[in-house]
């Protein structure tokens, strides 16, 4: 993908602070982090988002997320951790190349991952449940 900044990072055309790399993934520090240690797991192959990514690749990516998170927990003095993954502009995705955010949380930090809760009725929940139920 010619115009994709993460493809350029993967090819080495744009520098990055890499903390892990294998055949399929590159883990870099976010250049404009929400917190110290904010990392991104990038697939080496270009998938725009969750709707395009190969399921097996996604499975291996999440296994790697567990490893990287455990290492962060050992090394950084973190209190908690958010895993965030945006798909589509409306959801806040700005780089349309699949990536998982690993955000360490520290006491008193300014990170916010929050939404307002809807007050749905049981009927409304059932309606959505019947639409979404998978076999």
The one of Zn ion, ligand AMP, none whose footprint includes residue 4, by CB under 5 to 8 A per kind, is: Zn ion
Contact map string, positions 86 to 125, toward ligand AMP, x by CB under 6 A: x-----xxxx------------------------------
Tell me which long-range contacts 116-124 makes (C-beta under 8 A, separation of at least 24): none
Q: How many residues bind Zn ion (CB under 5 A)?
A: 6
95 binds, among ligand AMP, Zn ion, none (CB under 5 to 8 A by kind): ligand AMP
Binding partner selected for residue 94 from ligand AMP, Zn ion, none, CB under the kind-specific 5 to 8 Å limit: ligand AMP
Q: Which residues face 53 on adjacent strands?
A: none
Interaction of residue 48 with Zn ion, rule CB under 5 A = no
CB atoms < 10 A from the CB of 36, how many?
Answer: 12
Task: Examine residue 44 and tell whether it contacts Zn ion (CB under 5 A).
Answer: no
H/E/C letters for each residue in the chain?
CCCCHHHHHHHCCCCCCEEEECCCEEEEECCCCCCCCCEEEEECCCCCCCCCCCHHHHHHHHHHHHHHHHHHHHHCCCCEEEEECCCCHHHCCCCCCCEEEEEEECCCCCCCCCCCCCCCCHHHHHHHHHHHCCC
Catalytic hit among 38, 96, 97, 99: 99
Answer yes or no whether residue 30 interacts with ligand AMP by CB under 6 A.
yes
Told to judge if 99 belongs to the known catalytic residues of this protein, a careful annotator would answer yes
Q: Residue 17 interacts with Zn ion (CB under 5 A)? A: no
Q: Which residues are catalytic?
A: 99
Which residues are near ligand AMP by CB under 6 A?
A: 5, 14, 16, 28, 30-32, 86, 92-95
């Amino acid at each position: 993908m010619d115009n994709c900044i993460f493809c350029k990072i993967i090819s080495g055309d744009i520098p990055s602070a890499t903390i892990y790399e294998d055949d399929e993934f590159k883990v870099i520090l976010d250049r404009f982090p929400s917190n110290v240690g904010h990392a991104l797991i990038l697939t080496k192959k270009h998938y725009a988002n969750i709707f395009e990514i190969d399921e097996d690749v996604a499975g291996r990516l999440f296994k790697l997320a567990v490893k990287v998170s455990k290492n962060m927990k050992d090394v950084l003095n973190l209190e908690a951790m958010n895993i965030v993954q945006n798909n589509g502009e409306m959801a806040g995705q700005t780089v349309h190349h699949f990536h998982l955010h690993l955000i360490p949380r520290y006491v008193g930090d300014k990170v916010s991952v929050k939404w307002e809760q809807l007050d749905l009725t049981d009927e409304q929940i059932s309606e959505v449940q019947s639409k979404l139920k998978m076999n």
